[in-house]
Amino acid sequence: SQRTLVLLKPDAVRRGLIGEIIGRFEKKAGWTIRALELRELDRPLLEQHYAEHVGRPFYEPLVEFMSSGPSVALVVEGERVIEGVRALAGPTDPIAATPGSIRGDFGTIVRENLIHASDSEESAERELKIFFPDFS
Ligand code: GTP
Ligand code: MG
């Protein structure tokens, strides 16, 4: 099975959606939460995490937003969980996301799109090391 790195972004935490979102992962048969932490993400960590977006017009506001309050970082494990959490989240732009998805149900703003989830096995491996270096 796979592991993926999930972040409930500062908007999700501020709006009291932690339980709502985590509940959706818990209800998926065969998926398990393996690590969970409420944490302020500092700039050096975010620069590593979003290295692929450095220089894009949305990069600075994204880092500002992501450091505007605590996030929840989780490791979720299970069958095809990388693809599966991305499907539960919906597309990056919440307006394009179908109702029933996390972004589709709760979001309107591209930047404040509630959740991050690793987009491939390579990203998951890289991001898990950044956020949970001591997790085997
Ligand atoms: P993450 O799971 O957070 O990585 O989202 P994603 O994989 O759906 O999107 P991507 O990695 O392409 O972009 C990272 C984050 O930057 C997104 O989740 C948005 O919050 C933000 N972002 C991406 N594209 C845009 C954009 O065109 N405009 C703005 N304002 N923000 C963007
Ligand atoms: Mg991404």
Residue bearing tokens 């029933």: 100
Q: 112-129: per-residue pLDDT in tens? A: 999 999 999 999 999 999
CB 130 within 8 A of CB 49: yes
Atom of ligand 1 nearest to the CA of 117: 2
CATH fold, domain 2-131, is Alpha-Beta Plaits (3.30.70)
Note if 116 is an active site residue. yes
The catalytically annotated residue of 12, 116, 127, 131 is 116
At 15-33, the pLDDT tens digits run 999 999 999 999 999 999 9
ipTM rounded to 2 decimals? 0.90
Our answer on whether the CB atom of 92 is closer than 6 Å to any ligand 1 atom is yes
3-state secondary structure of 35: strand
The reply to whether ligand 1 has any atom less than 6 angstroms from the CB of 119 is yes
Query: Above pLDDT 70, what percent of the chain?
Result: 99
Q: Which of 35, 15, 38 is nearest to 134 (CA)?
A: 35
Asked if pLDDT for residue 95 goes beyond 80, the answer is: yes
